[in-house]
Structure 1
Amino acid sequence: MAETIFSKIIRREIPADILYEDERCLAFRDVNPQAPVHVLVIPREPMESLATAPAEAAGLLGHLLLKAAHVARQEKLESWRTVINTGAEAGQTVFHLHVHVIGGRPLAWPPG
């Protein structure tokens, strides 16, 4: 997998507003928020996207979703949206798998 800005955040080469971290993942505020709360949850293990995630990553993927919910509660959200963009046409701009946690305002459907 190619080097990404998220790899640099994990190594603390680029600063981020980190809200949660453990041995498997890291959660930090998005620098281009689309709502009052916009957090990214990323695996420490390099993984480009859901499209390339191996079957043995199932436990890690579940962990990311549970930590997304943890961060949402930590941010005092009662409702939120979790989004995983997969591929450029779906809006993925950083090719290191990440879960968006978006909330703090009403969210329309369908999304943009």
Structure 2
Amino acid sequence: MECVFCAVVAGSVPAHVVHRDEWTVAFLDRRPLFPGHTLVVPYGHVETLAELPAELLEPYFSVVQRVAAAMEGALGAAGSFVAANNRISQSVPHLHVHVVPRNPKDGLRGFFWPRGRYRDEEEAAEVADRLRAALEG
């Protein structure tokens, strides 16, 4: 089955496109959190952020940044929420960044994330060491 986001990029599935360039397509989410909720996807089938080629990082996130900034002027939003899922909760297995216009008291509360604490500073240091080693390795 063809990826629906690849089909949007190809123009074979209709979408309300707000931006298109040689690297990305930005279009309105069909089931928005708020009007203006936009998805930014790269050309080519890339499933996760880790798989996005390094040379596409700047042009891709430049569009994400521009869409977020445009929401304030175009939609009167006070700010925006920018997020991407990788595999878990990724309804379409194609990299996409959600850019959602936000306003005070808009009803979106903490985006459903239960917060916790580290057991102690030692546990936090161990987790930081594991991540640091993976990034340096």
Q: TM-score, normalised by structure 2?
A: 0.68
Match of 2:93 among 84, 92, 95: 95
Contact 2:78 2:103 in 1 (8 A): no
Gaps of 5+ in 2: 113-137
Instruction: Please report how far the alpha carbon of residue 87 of structure 1 lies from its aligned counterpart in structure 2 after TM superposition.
Output: 1.1
Q: Distance in 2 between matches of 1:69 and 1:50?
A: 16
Q: Which residue of structure 2 aligns with residue 79 of structure 1?
A: 79
Question: Which ranges of structure 1 fall in alignment gaps of 5 or more residues?
Answer: none
More strand by share: 1
1:15 counterpart letter in structure 2: P
How far did 1:78 drift?
4.3
CA contact (8 A) 2:3 2:92 kept: yes
Once the two structures are overlaid, the 10-residue window that deviates more, 22-31 or 98-107, is 98-107
Q: Tell me the TM-score normalised to structure 1 length.
A: 0.82
Instruction: Measure the CA separation in 2 of the matches of 1:40 and 1:61.
Output: 16
How big is the shift at 1:94?
0.4
Q: Percent identity?
A: 32
Decide whether the 8 Å contact of 2:81 with 2:100 is kept in 1.
yes
Total equivalences in the alignment: 105
Mark the structure with the bigger radius of gyration: 2
RCO higher in structure (CA 8 A, sep ≥6): 1
Distance in 2, matches of 1:31 and 1:60, equals: 25
Larger helix proportion of the pair = 2
Contact 1:18–1:27, Cα closer than 8 Å, also in 2: yes
Q: Name the aligned partner's letter for residue 28 of structure 1.
A: F
